[in-house]
Chain A
Amino acid sequence: MDINKYMHVLKNAGDLTTLYDTLLKSKEYNSEKIYICAGGGCIASGSMKVKEAFVSQLANAKLDGTLEIMETGCLGPCAIGPVVVIGKDDTFYQKVRAQDVKEIVEQHLIGGKIVDNLLHPVDEQKVSKKSELPFFKNQDKQVLRNCGKINPTKIADYIACGGYKALSKVLTSMSSEQVVQEVTVSGLRGRGGAGFPTGTKWNFARKSQDTEKYILCNADEGDPGAFMDRSILEGDPHSIIEGMAIGAFAIGSSTGYVYVRAEYPLAIERLQIAIDQALEFGLIGKDILGTGFNFDLEIRKGSGAFVCGEETALITSIEGNRGEPRPRPPFPAEKGLWNKPTVLNNVETFSNIPLLINNGGAQFAEIGTEKSKGTKIFALAGTVKISGLVEVPVGTPLRKLVYDIGGGISTNKKYKAAQIGGPSGGCIPEEHLDVPLDYESLNILGAIMGSGGLIVMDESSCMVDVARFFLEFVQDESCGKCVPCREGTARMKQIVDRICEGKGEMKDIDELEKLASTVTNASLCGLGQTAPNPVLSTLRHFREEYIEHIRDKKCRTAVCKELIVFEILDLCNGCQACKKVCPVEAIHGEKKQAHIINTELCIRCGLCLSTCKFDAIVKY
C-alpha cells in the first residue's frame, strides 16, 4: 500500500481507528494480490528476479492496474523457495524462476488454468491451495500471523491488519498494573530459551520506584539452527515495536533498545524502516496518540559474539564494553542497563504481546499445555523434506513437526535424532518422537525448548561428532571470564576429540560426566551452565556410539575422519582424476587401470571421493 497517501501523525486513538477504516475501504487493500516471499531464504533463491518478472509481465498483460504485487515476509517453506501465492484462489507455487512468470500470468491469471508443474507435490498428488498443503494446514500461525500477508516495509499494511490497536487500547484504557496482569494471566513464558514467565519479569520492573527504566529486545539470535527471530524482524517488524511499546508502558520506561546481531543485515534494514515509519506516524516518540506517553526506540547492532545473547552480557555490550556476563543477582529487573531496572525479552515474546492484549490473556491461555501457553515457532532444518519456519501450539508432538509438517526425512535414510535448543539443548532419539514440545517434557529428556532451532538428523550423522561440534562452538564462543566454562569446555572437547580420533579410553566417559557436572554447577552464566547439555544428552541416548568409538575404534556413520577408510572399488576406470587431486600422493595406479589408495599415507581429506565421477570410491 502506498503509505505516503495515508501518512499523517496520529494525534489520538480515534485517528488510528479512522486510518484503519480508511485503509480497509481503500482500493489497494481490496485489490487482488500476488504474494511473493521476500524473506531472507527466498531472496537468496532469487525471489527479487521473480518479482521483477511479475512487474514486467503484468504490465505487458495490462494487468498492473488490477493486480497488486505484495513483497511479503517469510512464508515459511524456505527449502522450496522462491514461493509465490496467487491471492484470488490461494494457489501456492514453489521454486518459481523468473522464466516461469510468463506462464503463470498467461495461463493462470489470464487463462484461469493453474500451472501444474509449479505446484508442490504431496504424496504424488499436486495440491494447489496453500491452505490445503500439509505444511500449512498443520500449523497454527499466531505470532507469524502477518508474515506472508503484509509488506514489512509498509506500516499501512500492518495497521490494516489491526496493528497498533493493542497499543492504543493499552494507552487509552488500561493501567500499567492491568497490562502486567493480562500478561500474567496469559501464562506467556519467555521465548528466548529459559521460559521465564513474562508477567512476573515485568512486574518486578514495574514495582521499582526508579524513574529511569529500560526495555530491551534480544534479537541476538545466535543459536545455530534458529532463524525465527530473523523472520519476524524481516517479516513483521512492527509487531515487535508495538510489543516493546506496550512493555515500556507496563513497566514505566520511555527508552528501548533492540539488540540485533550483525549477521542479519536485512533484518536491521527492515526494522529501521519500521521504526522510522512508526515515528512518523506518532506511534512511538513523544506524546504517543496524545496520551502523554513517550517511547524512544533505537537499534544497537551486535558485533559477532554469541555470548551477547545472554541477558547480562547483552546489557554490558550495549554499554559499550566487552560482552561479558555479570553475576546475578542483582537481576536486570533490579539493576540492568546502566544499573537501572531493565526488562529484556526476546523478539518472539514481544511479538506475542499485541496478540495477547487484543484477545485477552485468558483467550491466549487456551492454546498450549497446562504450564506452557500459546504457540511456539520452530526453525525446522536438517535432513527434512521441507525445511523452514513453522508455528504450532506449545505441546505439539515432535513427530507432527518432522513428518506431517516437514514431510519426513529428505534422504533415503532413517530418522536418527532431532537436535533441539542449540548449544544448550539436546538430541531427541526415535523412541521419543512423540514427545510434546513443551518446556517440561523436553527437560525430562535432557533437551530444552531453547529458542526453537530444530535440526533433524538422519542416520548419516555421528552423535559423538555432533557433541564435538557443539563443544567446539561453546569453546569458541565462551567469553573466557569464568574458569569452569573457559577451561571446562576445553577439557571436555579434548576428551571428545580423543574419542573421535579413536584414542579414547572407557574411563573418558566417566570423566566427561564429572566435568560436565562441574561446568554446569560452577559457570557464571547460561552459556556455561548449559554448555555440557549436548554431550550429556548424546551420552544418554546414544551411549553405544561413544563405546563403539572407544572400544571398537569405529564410527558407524563414517564421519569421524581418523576412524574411516577410503577404498577404490574395482569399477574404477583409471581416469586418474583422484590421483591428481590427492594432496599426499596416496593414490597409485596406471591410466585406464583400477587405482589403489595407500591407507597409511591417506589423510582422509575426502577430495578423491568428491572428485570421482564414477562412484568408484567408498568410505566406511
Chain B
Amino acid sequence: MAKVEKCSCGNDDDGLLERLEEIIISFKEKPGALIPVLQATQSLFGFIPQEAILKISEILNEPLSKVYGVITFYSFFSLKPRGKYLIRVCLGTACYVQGANEILTALKQQLSIEIGETSPDKLFTLDVGRCFGACGLAPIIMVNDDVHQWVKPSDVKKIISTYKKQKEKNKEEAI
C-alpha cells in the first residue's frame, strides 16, 4: 500500500490526517458511517492511504479486514494516488455504440498508459466509467468533473494538451 508522503495533488499532507480524524469523529455516531467516511477520505487525499485505513478502523471500531473489503468493493475508492486529472472514458451503451472504444485506444496510446494507471508525470490517470448519464452527447469522456462531448479519437491529443497547458498556467500563476 502507498504511504502518505505527498498528496496526489502536490500539496503537503500536513494536517490532513488530523483533519481526517475530526471527520471520522463527526461521523462516528451516524449509523452506517464507514462509507461516508471513506468518501471523505478519498476526496481529502485523492486516494485512501494506509494510515487513513488504520485510523478509520480504530475510531469506528471496525475490523481492518472489513474496511479493506469495503474499499476494494467500490470502484470510486482507490488505494493508489491518482493523477491531477482523472480521465474517465464512458463505456455506457450509447457511447460504446458510437465509438468509445476507439477513444480509449487513442487515449492509451497518447498517454502510454493502460486503464487504472497514472502517467509518470502524475498528471493523468486513465479510467473507464459505466455511463455518466450524458447519453445525448455520446460519446463522452470526463476529465475530473468536466464533460467533453462528441469526442472523436482525433480530438484526444488536443484535449490532453489543454490540460497540460492548464497545469503550466497554474504553475506560472503560482510563481
Contacts and interface: CB of A to CB of B under 8 A. Distances in A.
Interface of A: 40-41, 43-45, 77-79, 81, 221-227, 230, 262-265, 300-306, 317-323, 338, 379-383, 387-389, 419, 422, 453, 455, 457, 461, 466, 469-470, 473, 476-477, 479, 583, 605-607, 610-611
A584 to B, nearest CB: 12
Given A224-B131, A304-B74, A606-B105, A387 B93 contact: no
B134 A78 contact: yes
A366 to B, nearest CB: 31
A610 B154 contact: yes
Interface string B70-90: 100111110000000000000
Nearest to B39: A301
Interface residues of B, number: 44
A230 B133 contact: yes
Nearest to B153: A610
B130 A222 contact: yes
A483 to B, nearest CB: 18
Nearest to A534: B93
A319 B136 contact: no
B32 A455 contact: no
B102 interface: yes
A461 B102 contact: no
* Most central of A321, A422, A470 by chain B CB within 10 Å: A321
Contacts of A381: 93-94, 135-136, 138
Contacts of A222: 130-131
B93 A453 contact: yes
Contacts of B38: 303
B64 interface: no
A303 B94 contact: no
A265 to B, nearest CB: 6
A566 B75 CA distance: 37
Residue among B75, B105, B136, B154 with max Cβ neighbours from chain A (10 Å): B136
A147 B21 CA distance: 41
Contact of A40 (B91, B133, B138): B133
A572 B105 CA distance: 24
B137 A455 contact: no
A287 to B, nearest CB: 23
A10 B68 CA distance: 46
A466 B145 contact: no
Nearest to A262: B76
B35 to A, nearest CB: 5
B134 A320 contact: no
Nearest to A425: B93
Contact of B92 (A43, A225, A302): A225
Contact of B130 (A224, A455, A583, A610): A224
A255 to B, nearest CB: 10
Contact of B145 (A265, A303, A380): A265
Contact of B97 (A79, A263, A457, A607): A457
B137 A41 contact: yes
A391 to B, nearest CB: 15
A48 B92 CA distance: 26
Contacts of B97: 382-383, 455, 457, 461, 466
Nearest to A473: B130
Contacts of B31: 319-320, 338
26 contacts: A44-B134, A44-B149, A224-B91, A224-B92, A224-B94, A224-B131, A226-B131, A265-B145, A303-B35, A303-B75, A304-B74, A306-B130, A320-B34, A321-B70, A322-B70, A322-B73, A323-B73, A379-B136, A382-B94, A382-B135, A383-B98, A457-B97, A473-B130, A477-B130, A606-B102, A607-B105
